[in-house]
Structure 1
Amino acid sequence: MTKKPYQDTELAKYVERRVLELKSKKTQVEIASEAGYPNANMVSMVKSGASKLALDRVPSMARALECDPAYLMRLALEQAVGRTAAAAVIEIFGEPVTENELGWIKAIRTASDNSDPHQGRDGPHDARQPDRLPARDTGQGVGAGWAR
């Protein structure tokens, strides 16, 4: 049997897993329809790795799969342009931040009383250890789902 071009990608594995997890809630035909595919076979092709997920389909597919669009975009970007090119895009635009990760960031801000605790090479900066210098603040924060 011929190997499908995208079968070993994280996106294909993830879509396959999400379709299985949603099986009790919706059919693959419903997922395809919610994602805007006129042919339900496209979801099968994406999850099997026969076809890649078009980047412009990521928002609707994320809604259909009930998953975080930033996470799905990260997987789709790697699938679309390859690991090296995806790393370059992320280096320029920053790492996509999922809603779950954003929740952690908000929890850290609350726990630190918005004190902007620094993190050194070995973890969070401990004021009792003056030999550990805090990381330099670049002044670039989280914006529109991307962190730098």
Structure 2
Amino acid sequence: MHKNSISTAFGDTRLPKYLSHRILEMKPRKTQSQIAAEAGFPNPNMLAIIKAGKAKLPLDRVPALAKALECDPRLLFVLALEQLGGSTTETAIRQIFGTIVSENEVAWLEEIRSASDHKNPALTTRARSAIRGIFGK
């Protein structure tokens, strides 16, 4: 049987793929073992187990792992939520807390507030076009 065809408990969630990609990006600066240690995993192999989809990422490890991976903790949290109960758990969290906003999106919101003198501007057709123009859409 081919290694990639083995079914794992959490292998079908987005987190293992994201971890693999981010760890590869970090490779010039940190080893996977260093990342695991910085995230506070007592067993350095635990990160490999999570990356392989054989275990879920505990929510209490999200902040430290995000710091070790130098990534947005909100994104990592959403990916970890998917492992807990799939889309229904994520939907419940979004219904309770609203849209989870990334660090970059927070910076955009803060800039909009500053530029509007904190007047809570409506998203007009002109403003929507300007934003879409920034992204070439």
Counterpart position of 1:77: 81
Paired AA for residue 93 in structure 2: V
Equivalent pairs counted in the alignment come to 123
Counterpart position of 2:55: 51
Rounded Cα–Cα distance in structure 1 between residues aligned with 2:17 and 2:46: 15
Structure 1 unaligned residues grouped into runs of 5+: 127-148
Task: Describe how 1:1-148 pairs up with structure 2 within 5 A.
Answer: 1=1, 2-119=6-123, 124-125=124-125
Paired AA for residue 8 in structure 2: K
TM-score by length of 1: 0.75
Paired AA for residue 42 in structure 1: M
> Between the two proteins, what is the percent identity of the paired residues?
50
TM-score by length of 2: 0.81
Larger strand proportion of the pair = 1
Rounded Cα–Cα distance in structure 2 between residues aligned with 1:13 and 1:112: 39
**TM superposition outliers: structure 1 runs of 4+ over 4 Å:** none
Larger helix proportion of the pair = 2
Rounded Cα–Cα distance in structure 2 between residues aligned with 1:7 and 1:118: 42
Structure 2 unaligned residues grouped into runs of 5+: 127-137
Choose 1 or 2 for highest CA Rg: 1
Rounded Cα–Cα distance in structure 2 between residues aligned with 1:22 and 1:8: 23
1:31-65 C-alpha deviation (Å, 9 max, x unpaired): 11011112221111111211110111111111111
Rounded Cα–Cα distance in structure 2 between residues aligned with 1:18 and 1:62: 10
